[in-house]
Amino acid sequence: MKVMVPVKRVVDANVKVRVKPDNTGVDLTNVKMAVNPFCEIAIEEAVRLTEAGLATEVVAVAVGTSACQEQLRTCLALGADRAVLIETDEDVQPLGIAKALKALQDKENADIVIFGKQSIDGDNSQTGQMFAALAGMPQGTFASEVTPEDGKLKVTREIDGGLQTISVSLPAVITTDLRLNEPRYASLPNIMKAKKKPLDTMSAADLGVDVAPTVEVVSVEPPEERQAGVKVETVDELVDKLRNEAKVIT
């Protein structure tokens, strides 16, 4: 059974994001980049399936510039068997990524495709669902537990009302929630081994896919700084401030 894991290169979660002076986007100059945290969970789940003898190969995939090779090597160090970079200089958006991955899936025929449920930069939570629709594959989104059984996947989903358990037939798409697992750290020996693992590069044009953006970003602005809180002496003073200053009650 083959598992494909799309991953995204994002600003490291510990870095404070800065907006460009002209408000055209996020300033990435000399910023540390990393594998999207939800994608790390997806890689971990795929590697665990391999370690349990349920999967035979884990393929990490990225859509983006040549710089994404760094994150793909990280995925190889975490246990992926090989990697594929669909290289493009376009500012790829969820639909374009989904189209490119669908074209690759037509070649790879993976039994399970595991996405992180969202990226921490765009926060769209769209790519996995768009891919499933394009590929005509059943999906289990926001998964907190995945159990293969009888040629299907039993997926426990985190929803607004609690937990929902569904069964999906293979091939299937999974998007991972935070509580699915705890990603491991790459050991030094595995980092060295990752340098020798195969990493193939192809262009979106090689797959016959147009990944040009379909949504225009007008401007990017940082959120307003929060004002300092104040202490009040009485309930009446609190009600007065809520009514006349915050204007949240009438």
pLDDT digits (tens, 9 = 90+) for 23-59: 888 888 889 999 999 999 999 999 999 999 999 999 9
H or E stretch at 169? strand 162-169
Structure tokens at 212: 């040009």
Tell how far CA 194 is from the center of its chain: 21
pTM of the model: 0.88
Query: Is 100 a residue whose pLDDT tops 90?
Result: yes
pLDDT, tens only, 118-157? 999 989 999 999 999 999 999 999 999 999 988 899 999 9
Query: Is 60 a residue whose pLDDT tops 90?
Result: yes
Structure tokens at 136: 């005509």
Query: Is 225 a residue whose pLDDT tops 90?
Result: no
Structure tokens at 41: 């969970």
Torsion angle of C-alpha atoms 121, 58, 178, 35, degrees rounded to 10: -30
Select the more confidently predicted residue: 27 or 84: 84
- Give the pLDDT band (50/70/90) at residue 249: confident
Instruction: Give the pairing type, strands 2-7 and 112-116.
Output: parallel
- Give the pLDDT band (50/70/90) at residue 183: very high
Query: Is 245 a residue whose pLDDT tops 90?
Result: no
Q: Which of 153, 166, 160, 163 is nearest to 113 (CA)?
A: 153
Work out whether the CA dihedral 124, 78, 68, 33 comes out positive or negative.
Answer: positive
Structure tokens at 21: 């002076």
Q: What is the mean pLDDT of residues 229-243?
A: 90
Q: What is the CATH number of domain 2-225?
A: 3.40.50.620
Q: What is the pLDDT of residue 248?
A: 87
Under the phi-then-psi rule, with left for phi > 0, alpha for psi from -120 to 50, and beta for the rest, what region is 178?
alpha
Report the DSSP beta bridge partners of residue 49.
Answer: none
Q: What is the mean pLDDT of residues 154-170?
A: 93
How many angstroms separate the Cα of 235 from the Cα of each of 143, 156, 229, 230, 240?
A: 44, 45, 16, 13, 9
How many angstroms separate the Cα of 198 from the Cα of each of 39, 184, 194?
A: 20, 21, 8
Query: Is 224 a residue whose pLDDT tops 90?
Result: no
Query: Is 228 a residue whose pLDDT tops 90?
Result: no
Tell how far CA 135 is from the center of its chain: 18
Query: Is 115 a residue whose pLDDT tops 90?
Result: yes
Whether the CB-CB separation of 46 and 5 falls below 8 Å is answered with: yes
DSSP state of 120: T
Q: What is the pLDDT of residue 161?
A: 86
Q: What is the pLDDT of residue 151?
A: 84
Domain ranges of the chain: 2-225
Residue 248 has a CB neighbour count (10 Å cut-off) of: 8
Under the phi-then-psi rule, with left for phi > 0, alpha for psi from -120 to 50, and beta for the rest, what region is 68?
alpha
